[in-house]
Structure 1
Amino acid sequence: MRIFWTFFWTFLLVNMVTYVVSSMIGVAYHFATGTTLAVIATVLILLIAQLIPDDPVHH
């Protein structure tokens, strides 16, 4: 379920950013570009979450 919600919110936010940026620079909005970037961002987010240690650090 964690992976689904991560993809869901990443999908929405990345497509929103893609739409706004493409509108600001005056090019056509492509849904496929936003979706591809959302998949890549989701994989990176999940990878970084796995790499960060979860245990407390003892000094």
Structure 2
Amino acid sequence: MASKEQMSLHFDYYSVKEIANKIGFHPDTVYDWIKNRNMPVRRVGRQGRITIYWPDFAKWWSEPNNF
């Protein structure tokens, strides 16, 4: 069984759809930010599934020059 620390780390990663739901935007908007505004993402697996690490996203979101 995973430790509490390992489990909490897992929940810091979100899909584009999960992030969009969490912040109240459409997933297409999030994809636009990734493409045009250098939103930080990580690619996972062979297919390069996009995941978003919450601390990286929160830092990016709080920077005023991103909007």
TM-score (norm 2): 0.24
Larger Cα-atom Rg: 1
Structure having greater relative contact order (Cα 8 Å, sep ≥ 6): 1
User: Which is richer in strand?
Assistant: 2
